[in-house]
Every structure is written in structure tokens, then in C-alpha cells.
Structure 1
Amino acid sequence: MSTGDMMNRYKIVFIDIDDTLNPTNKKVSLYTKEVMKKLKEKGIKLVLNTGRSVSYAINKSREAGLSEYVIGSNGSEIYNYETKEKVLAKSISKKDIKKIYEYCKLHDMTMVMNSFEKRYVNTTNYSYNDEAAIYIDDIDKLVGEEDINQIVILSTNYDRMLVIPNLFKEKFPDLNIIHSSINLVEQRRAKGKEYYHDIVLSNTSKGSGIVELLDYFNIDSSEAIAIGNGYDDVSMCDVVGLSVAVGNAVSLLKEVATCVTDSSEEDGVAKILEKLCLEEKEAN
């Protein structure tokens, strides 16, 4: 296939945010913004696909000048922030939310709950990067007013957090721990560190979110690219035509991805998309 054919092949790109598009604690570079602008001018859709909340994704999408659609909470939410259309909303049952709330309360664990526009937490001293959260002490009132799409539980208790996946699999058959902190996945005890688990409905992932949006746009999977860095990005690889791991990605993602680009610190996302979709070179 010629480079020209490849340039016309891709219609949509799904991009993880933290340590993929955005380097750690940094904003995207001017170079990346310029590449994204050129891609949009060619009609290519640029969709953030994150385990973080929709509200967080919206801010990062606007900051980088991407398309108006975002996938949040590990495939639980798809939102058009220009038209306010909720393309997809997978809500956790009120019963399961309340049970997890009581479990976290009993074991002194932080519980964060994502809705479309807000983030709620069961403690007053929660902070995570630049995501604000609203303290709640009445779980019945919350579940009566809001649909919760994802739960994140956090604790410094390594031993308890390590057994939660098996425990919750029995207690909550309709739910799935879709992503966990890397120290838990690789079973590394980190003194003083906080561990986390992301919880969504079963059969929900970043990959399932992609499938939903491709169907919504009537775009074939062969015309899609996905770029990520973490374990939760592996699910994207099977549902797109071309998958990319940034240079700082976990080993598993590098193994299953179609190719590896430079790290997020080195504008890896912009470089690979410029090469695949913008450069006009003659085929060898």
C-alpha cells in the first residue's frame, strides 16, 4: 500500500491522555497542537479515550484542540461536549454502589464515583492531579439523583487491595475491575503509596467504547488508530486497524501493538500521526 493510500485510509484516532498525549504533569506541546490541527483539517476525528472522567477528558480535549467527542471512565461514557449529546452511558446499579460504599467505609478506603459531569468522593481530603471532587456523606441521596458510570477505590493498604479483585468478582458479578495501579498489577509493594482499582460494568473497556463510537459514526475498524501507554489500553488493540504504543508504555502493550512510537515526553503521538496521516512520500 502506498503512503498516499495510507494517508486516506484512517478516519479516526483514539488517544489515551495521561502519559500518552500528555507527558507526566505537563501540557501538550505546541508541535503536537499543530499536528492535531492539520489532522482535523484533513477531516480526521481525534477522540480522547481515557479511564478518567468525562469532565477531565473535555478539558484536555479542548486544551489540545481535538474533536468534540470523548470516551470517559474506561468506555462507560461517550459524550459530545459541543452538542451535550450523551452517546453512551453505562450506569452501575444503585445496589452495588451502596454496597461498595459501605465496604469502603468499613475498611477506611477512599471511594470516588464518576458521573457524566461531576466526580464524588466519600472523604474530605481527596485530591488527584487537577480533578476536583464533591464530598458526599449521604449515598442514598446521591444514587437517587445521579447515574454513576465508574467507581475508583483507593487505599494504602497493599494486602487488602491485592485481594479485592477476587473478592469483588464474587460479590459483584455485574461489575469488572478494568484497571488497577501498576504496583498492584505487577505485585510490587510500594511503601506509603496509594493503590487504586477502577470499577465499571462487565464487558466495558476502552475497547468497547471504541466499538460503540465506530458504530455510531459508521466507520470501519480498519480505518481507526488507537494510541496508549497502559494496561487498560490493551483492549483498544483488537478493535482498530492500527494500534500504537508510546515509548514509555508497559511491555505488554508494546508486545500487542502494531508499532511503537517515541515516548509521550518526545511527542510520540504527534510524530506517529504525522508519519501515518500527513507526510506525503513516494512509496518505495
Structure 2
Amino acid sequence: MERLENIKLIVADLDGTLLDENKQIDSDMPSLLPAMREQGIAFTFGSGRNMHIMQDYVSQLQVDIPYITNNGANMFEGRRCIYECSMSSSDLLLALTLLKQRGIPFLAYSNFAVYPVGSHPGLTKFMERLKGKSDIIETKTIHEIIEHSIFKVVIIHDDEILMKQVMDEINNNCKEAHCVRSEGDIYTLTHIDASKGNTLKKLMELMKVSSDQVLVFGDNYNDTSMFDVVKYSVAMGNSTKEIQDKATHVTKSNEEQGVSWFIKNYVLEKL
């Protein structure tokens, strides 16, 4: 395979892509940053994570351009939100009431706090990451939650049939809120226009780069919208065949530093 020429922007997902199973960043990435800057290649994140739990990685890789959070519901520059796409209170009331009636636990995110309803070990892990970084308010009712600007709701349930029914009911009855499967038994509810791909298009406009100058890395369902809006997309070796088939290239796994390996071998000019 030949080197990809004229790449000006690289966007990488975090979990399952740039991070290994211990949530440690690709160890070879920091050493690549000087060469990337010298060759005019900017680097940023496109993540489903909340801004608060991305800050360590933003600092570690010195990301100084906007980055995508909450599966595209927000874009931040530093700690300043420069784009947001929240859900209407009417859609939230419908969707969250349905989830509660079905006994499905969820975690609603605003930029200032998270609101858990129900319990699940997976949601507990999300909240542990947020301790000391964002307020966790466990006493709110659904009516109190929807008074706030909610950008994302994380839902965890292992019954695929039930979740398919719930997703269909939400997506068929909400005007703008949309529920999708992110990875495994994790689902996300966001505004229908809030996808990583749509927000990446806004970032490309901001950076004044074209779709054939952008390279994206991802490993799961919520990354494929980014694959759709650029010429070059790379699926991780640990992703499913379904995800790999949607990308233009496949690299090594996240445990094998697949992001840095691909950049070194197929993006950077040999020094």
C-alpha cells in the first residue's frame, strides 16, 4: 500500500482505538507529534466521551485544536464549548419515561452534571471516571432532568431484542432525538443531527480542509459516520468485520498501537 499524501487532519476515536484495554494512550503517539506538526498534519479526537473525562488525553497529546465529544453532540476548544446540539425537553420526556418504564438504566449528560437513573455496573464505571470532574446528581426526577440542556444519554442493557424494540419506539416517536447502538451493550441517545460525522464536517469547515485531506480512525458503530464523510478511514484490527468493511483501510489492534503504526507507515514522510 502506498503512502496517503496530502493529509492535513487526523481524527481518532479514543476507547478501543487510541486507548488500550487499560485506558492507556497509544504509547508511540507522543513521539510522532513533532513530525506530524513539521509536516503540517493536525491531530484531534472524535469521541463519545464527555469533555471532563477527555482532559487528561487532551493534555497528554497537546491537542490544541477543537475536538469532538459526546458522539458529536458537542465540540470543544480547550474547555470552551464551540458547538452544541442538545435534545428538546419533549423528546427527552418521551424517551426517558419509556426507558424508566422498561426498567432500563441510563445516565443523562449535561455539560455541568450527569444524572443517573437506575443502576448497572457499566454505568457505575462511567460515573467513577467522572468523580471529581463533573457533578453526579442522583436525586433528580425525569421532569427535573429535562429542565437542563441534555446532550447525550448513555443506556446499557444486554437484551438486544428489548433494546431493538425500545430504539424503534424512540426513533419512530421522537421528532429529533435518536437512539443508536454505540458498542456492545452500550447505546446512546442524542439529537438526530448529533453524530461524529456531522460534527466532523463542521470541524473540517472550521479548519478549512477538504474530505480528501482528512484521515479518521475508529473501531465501532459510532465511528462509521466519520468514515462516511472523509476519503480515508481506518478501522482498528480489534473491530468487527462489519466495521472493517465500512472503512477504506484496516490497521493493527488498539493493543498493538494500531493508530501510531498506521501513521508511521502510511502517512508520515520518511524522515
Bucket of the pairwise TM-score, normalised by the shorter protein: 0.7 to 0.9
Q: Deviations over 1:8-59 (max 9, x none)?
A: x111111011110001123124322212343245442211111222222333
Question: Which residue of structure 2 aligns with residue 32 of structure 1?
Answer: 29
Give the distance between the partners of 1:14 and 1:59, measured in 2 at CA: 17
Any residues of structure 2 matched to 1:217-232 within 5 Å, and which? 217-232=207-222
Unaligned runs of 5+ in 2: 131-135
Letter of the 1:47 counterpart = T
Match of 1:71 among 44, 68, 71: 68
**Post-superposition offset of 1:268:** 0.7
Question: Higher mean Cα deviation, 262-271 or 46-55?
Answer: 46-55
Q: What do residues 169-214 of structure 1 show as CA deviations (whole Å, max 9, x unaligned)? A: 22213222233443xxxxxxxxxxxx33211111331111110111
Give the structure 2 partner of residue 149 of structure 1: 151
Q: What is the rounded CA distance, in whole Å, between the counterparts of 1:12 and 1:46 in structure 2?
A: 6
Taking a change above 3 Å as real, the CA distance of residues 116 and 59 of structure 1, as seen in their structure-2 partners, is farther
> Which residue in 1 is equivalent to 2:243?
253
Distance 1:259 1:124 in 2: 38
Instruction: Give secondary structure in 1 for the equivalent of 2:107.
Output: strand
The one of 120, 139, 143 aligned to 1:140: 143
1:85 CA drift (Å):
3.3
- 1:1-284 to 2 correspondences below 5 Å: 6=5, 9-81=6-78, 84-123=79-118, 126-129=123-126, 130-132=128-130, 133-144=136-147, 146-182=148-184, 195-280=185-270
CA distance in 2, matches of 1:143, 1:203: 19
The one-character-per-residue Cα deviations of 1:195-238 (angstroms, maximum 9, x if unpaired) are 33211111331111110111122211111110011122111112
Offset, 1:70: 1.6
**Kept after mapping to 1: 8 A contact 2:48/2:70:** yes
Question: Any unmatched runs of 5+ in structure 1?
Answer: 183-194
In the alignment, the residues of structure 1 paired with residue 27 and residue 160 of structure 2 have an alpha-carbon distance, to the nearest angstrom, of 40
Cα distance change, pair 158–230 in 1 and its aligned pair in 2 (3 A): closer
SS at 2:28 equivalent = helix
Residue 136 of structure 1: how far off its partner (Å): 3.7
Q: Do the aligned residues in 2 keep the contact of 1:178 with 1:205 (CA within 8 Å)? A: no
Asked whether the equivalents of residues 196 and 225 of structure 2 are also in contact (C-alpha less than 8 Å), the reply is yes
Q: CA deviation at 1:138?
A: 3.3
**Superposition deviation, residue 108 in structure 1:** 2.3
Instruction: Kindly state the Cα deviation for residue 116 of structure 1 after the two structures are TM-superposed.
Output: 2.6
State the aligned residue count.
Answer: 262
Name the aligned partner's letter for residue 52 of structure 1: R
Identify if the C-alpha distance between structure 1 residues 253 and 105 changes in structure 2 by more than 3 Å, giving closer, same or farther.
closer
Shift of 1:264: 0.7
How far is the alpha carbon of 1:158 from its aligned partner? 4.6
Letter in 1 for 2:153: I
CA deviation after TM superposition for structure 1 residue 91, in Å: 0.6
Q: CA deviation at 1:61?
A: 2.3
Cα gap change, 1:124/1:249 in structure 2, threshold over 3 Å: closer, same or farther? closer
Q: Is the 8 A contact 2:91 2:175 kept in 1?
A: no
Distance 1:248 1:99 in 2: 36
Report the Cα offset of residue 156 of structure 1. Answer: 4.5
CA distance in 2, matches of 1:131, 1:204: 23
